[in-house]
Amino acid sequence: MRIGVASLEHVHAETYVRLLHVWDGIELVVADPGGDAVEEGRRATRDRIASLGVTILDSYEDLLAAEPDGIIVCTPNSQHRDLVERAAAAGVHVLCEKPIATEVSDAVAMIEACERAGVGLMLAYPVRFSPGMRELKSALDRGEIGRVLAFDGANVARIPIGDRAWFGDAELAGGGAMMDHTVHLADILLYLTGEPVIGVYAQSNRIAHADDVDVETGAVVTLEFASGVIATIDASWSLPDSNPTWGGLSLRAIGDSGELSIDAFGDALRGHAEVGARSLWRSYGVDTNRLMLAEFVDSIRERRAPVPDGRDGLETLEIVLAAYRSARTGQPVPVERG
Amino acid sequence: MSGIRVGVVGSGFIAQQHLRSWRTNGAELAVYSQDGEEAARLADKLGIVAAATLEELLEFCEIADVCTPTDQHLPVVAAAASAGVHVVCEKPLARTAAEAEEVIAVCAAAGVRLFPAHVVRYIDPYVAAWREVERGTLGAIAVAHLSRSGPRPTWSAWFEDRDRSGGLLMDLLIHDYDIAQWLAGPVRRVWARALGDGAGGKEAGVVVLTHESGAISHVEGVWDAAGSPLTSTFQLFGDGGYLLSGTTPGTDVRIREAAGTVRRLPTPPAPGAPGPFEAELADFAAAVTTGGAARVSPADGLSAVRVAEAAVESARTGVAIEIEGGRA
């Protein structure tokens, strides 16, 4: 099987390249048009990938001409559609970085293009593959904490603009921290509850990194589910640049007869080193990116629809867009369906 | 403060806590309660005087410590003020902002001091966080999380009457509204939801506060079954760094039992180190003696009630409530 990585613009692209490069039975193709004349972070990624012996193609035409079975779309958020439509037209399955798009119309067009072409459209939500998160769902389904009243989630991180400036560009990214970080937990919460979100209240600010970007860096988003359950998501880029790890994702469920909580990236050694006078954070344990890629590869091999799919991506995008409307108006808003 | 004469009004949970703490602080004490039997029992236990009437208590004391149910603060404060007695008033200052303004007005008119008893400002981790914020270590606060969980206050029936207590969104979480404003400045917008049936079962509240600075505070509280432990946590994120509250057991001794369950032996207070209630009441007494400011001002108490009232209103109506120029 041949898998293509389309663009190295996303910070996750290098992770996918490294995993697929050594994946048994996978032939890797990488394209990064325009990537050699840009910022240092992306150039450094290209250098590291080249040093693995991986060739980096200069156009998506060349990538699709290599006839991959599937591609991973790693362009900026607002530029997913064109590439997804081209892949679909070529009969190529797609794993798309999150959020699926920055406009509902783009997301719908992508879903329809893939459906028409009979190719899979999977969304890159790695936390779905966290075994702990699956155990959390099964514990909730077993009724371990009774009826859930509320969820309290945080996906808090360093600002990613040091590696890729476009994350702070409203046009390319569709927003800042709220666009970048609400969707992971929103997706998980939809998966855990199995219910739609009917209302959203969000507040955002730009206190951290006020001089570095024009987009929001602080965001607290609350989701109201059909049953009345309330979930809070801190989606902020509020960790200092010198933080020993990129960030994390935690979730607590408050039930009427108990509580459950998970720190999805909690498998890590913590320490402090005299050299460089810095705190240490060394992650270990399950690599959810690997499990996510395995689902993509398996879905292609088994000729079935991948999970999570484009509709999951659309549902989470609708929630984020509602969050922006709420932050703008200062009032809770209903979720508008595409 | 040794020898300062304090009259505690009330005989419930917080009155008993304050009585013990005033006694540790060396105050001369008397107690008055509408429940005369309970007042007599407390007085007997502590070897102090139980006043037969509120007037008698007010004649005795320099500071009246008002520990009556929230909707009964104003009449007692008014009586104390007109007797020329300084006032410590348990939080919330009153059930509504309008009533809290009256509480402040009667004290100001009579020229007596008023101290809203927001004890969390005297609890070590919060004090340490406040000092760090003052020092500028975190820079400007961008996002704060404050959570609090404890047993349903079943010790007095009036807590269950939301018209009287305001319920969890007022009575429990006002602590965190006060801390949020202490650390990140005045709040201008409030959104809240109350969860759970509230009919004696588990109840939760979720509140999002937007500060005038733009900072966002996420406040969360739970009233759980009787006997559940009182816990609180916070996380503060600023443009220069972040601060997370310590792990709950802290220095407490933990016992791992054969069945694998972990039990805690709460750390006793160190000799000579005041607990939060002692520190709070000592601060108020010192402010009376010196004429200086206490850590909590009447305006702080009113402002916390405004946020709490807005939270109750938001949960009732479903919309976010604006607090215009500090007035809901």
| Per-residue pLDDT at B255 | 81
What residues in B contact A149, CB-CB < 8 Å? 195-196, 202, 204
* Centroid of chain to Cα B34: 22
d(CA A224, CA A222): 7
Among A180-194, B146-160, B178-192, B288-302, the minimum mean pLDDT is found in B146-160
Q: Find which of A158, A209, A254 to mutate to test the B interface (most B CBs within 10 Å of its CB).
A: A254
Query: CB distance B143–A206 less than 8 Å?
Result: no
Residue among B213, B222, B240 minimizing CB distance to A254: B222
pLDDT over 70 percentage in chain A = 99
Query: CB distance A220–B318 less than 8 Å?
Result: no
| Per-residue pLDDT at B247 | 62
Q: Quick check: helix, strand or coil at residue B81? A: helix
Residue among B193, B210, B239 minimizing CB distance to A203: B210
Question: Is cis: bond before A99, omega within 30 of 0?
Answer: yes
Query: CB distance B215–A232 less than 8 Å?
Result: no
d(CA B221, CA B179): 14
Query: CB distance B202–A240 less than 8 Å?
Result: no
List the one residue out of B151, B130, B288 whose CA is nearest residue B228.
Answer: B151
What residues in B contact A219, CB-CB < 8 Å? 216
Is residue A57 within 8 Å of residue A29, measured between CB atoms? yes
Residues in chain A: 338
> How many beta carbons lie within 10 A of that of residue A19, not counting itself?
17
Residues 6+ apart with CB under 8 A from A188: A125, A127, A128, A133, A153, A251
What residues in B contact A217, CB-CB < 8 Å? 142
d(CA A211, CA A111): 37
Distance from CA of B157 to the nearest CA of A (A): 21
- Average pLDDT of chain A? 95
pLDDT surpassing 80 at residue B267: no
Is residue B148 within 8 Å of residue B123, measured between CB atoms? no
CA angle B304, B160, B314 (to 5 degrees): 45
Output phi, psi for B73, to 5 deg: -75, -50
The secondary structure of residue B47, as a DSSP letter, is T
ipTM for the predicted complex:
0.90
How do residues B25-53 score in pLDDT, each as one tens digit?
A: 999 999 999 999 999 999 999 999 999 99
Is residue B165 within 8 Å of residue B158, measured between CB atoms? yes
Distance from CA of B295 to the nearest CA of A (A): 27
Measured between CA atoms, the residue of chain A closest to residue B184 is A207
Query: CB distance B320–A331 less than 8 Å?
Result: yes
Query: CB distance A240–B241 less than 8 Å?
Result: yes
Distance from CA of A229 to the nearest CA of B (A): 8
Fill in the amino acid letter for A249: L
Measured between CA atoms, the residue of chain B closest to residue A329 is B320
DSSP string, A310-336: HHHHHHHHHHHHHHHHHHHHTS-EEPP
Query: CB distance A224–B141 less than 8 Å?
Result: no
Q: Give, in order, the Cα–Cα distances in Å from B252 to each of A151, A167, B147, B148.
A: 28, 44, 20, 19
Measured between CA atoms, the residue of chain A closest to residue B214 is A205
Is residue A73 within 8 Å of residue A96, measured between CB atoms? yes
| Per-residue pLDDT at A236 | 98
State both tokens at B74: 């104003």
Judged by a CB distance cut-off of 8 A, whether residue B21 touches chain A is no
Query: CB distance B215–A205 less than 8 Å?
Result: yes
Query: CB distance B204–A150 less than 8 Å?
Result: yes
Residue among A218, A230, A256 minimizing CB distance to B216: A218
Fill in the amino acid letter for A63: L
Residues 6+ apart with CB under 8 A from B83: B55, B58, B59, B64
Distance from CA of B318 to the nearest CA of A (A): 8
| Per-residue pLDDT at B328 | 45
Measured between CA atoms, the residue of chain B closest to residue A154 is B145
Query: CB distance B143–A234 less than 8 Å?
Result: yes
Among A1-10, B133-142, B298-307, B319-328, the minimum mean pLDDT is found in B319-328
How do residues B217-263 score in pLDDT, each as one tens digit?
A: 999 999 998 888 888 999 999 999 999 997 655 677 878 887 778 78
Cβ-Cβ pairs closer than 8 A, A with B, add up to 101
pLDDT surpassing 70 at residue B310: yes
Distance from CA of A264 to the nearest CA of B (A): 18
Residue among B143, B210, B322 minimizing CB distance to A238: B143
Q: Find which of A152, A156, A182, A207 to mutate to test the B interface (most B CBs within 10 Å of its CB).
A: A207
Residue among A149, A210, A332 minimizing CB distance to B202: A149
Measured between CA atoms, the residue of chain B closest to residue A242 is B241
User: What ranges in A73-198 are assigned the alpha helix state H?
Assistant: 80-89, 104-117, 131-141, 170-173, 177-193
Residues 6+ apart with CB under 8 A from A47: none
Among A44-48, B15-19, B139-143, B156-160, the minimum mean pLDDT is found in B156-160
d(CA A123, CA A132): 20
- Average pLDDT of chain B? 93
Q: Which residues pair with B233 in a beta bridge?
A: B147
Direct distance between the N- and C-terminal alpha carbons of chain B, in angstroms, rounded to an integer: 38
| Per-residue pLDDT at A269 | 87
Among A126-135, A275-284, B295-304, the minimum mean pLDDT is found in A275-284
Distance from CA of A246 to the nearest CA of B (A): 14
Fill in the amino acid letter for A243: N
Among A217-231, A253-267, A273-287, B101-115, the minimum mean pLDDT is found in A273-287
What residues in B contact A150, CB-CB < 8 Å? 195, 204, 206, 220
State both tokens at B114: 């008023």
d(CA B58, CA B273): 30
Fill in the amino acid letter for A12: H
What residues in B contact A203, CB-CB < 8 Å? 189, 191, 208, 210, 216
| Per-residue pLDDT at B249 | 58
Distance from CA of B256 to the nearest CA of A (A): 21
List the one residue out of A289, A286, A244 whose CA is nearest residue A15.
Answer: A289
Which of residues A37 and B278 earns the better pLDDT score? B278
Output phi, psi for A153, to 5 deg: -120, 150
| Per-residue pLDDT at B146 | 98
Distance from CA of A251 to the nearest CA of B (A): 14
What residues in B contact A206, CB-CB < 8 Å? 214
Residue among B206, B242, B322 minimizing CB distance to A238: B242
> How many beta carbons lie within 10 A of that of residue A301, not counting itself?
11
DSSP string, B198-210: -SSS-EEEEEEEE
Q: Find which of B145, B193, B203, B319 to mutate to test the A interface (most A CBs within 10 Å of its CB).
A: B193
d(CA A214, CA B56): 64
Residue among B208, B222, B238 minimizing CB distance to A220: B208
Is residue A177 within 8 Å of residue A302, measured between CB atoms? no
Distance from CA of B302 to the nearest CA of A (A): 24
- Quick one: average pLDDT of B201-225? 95
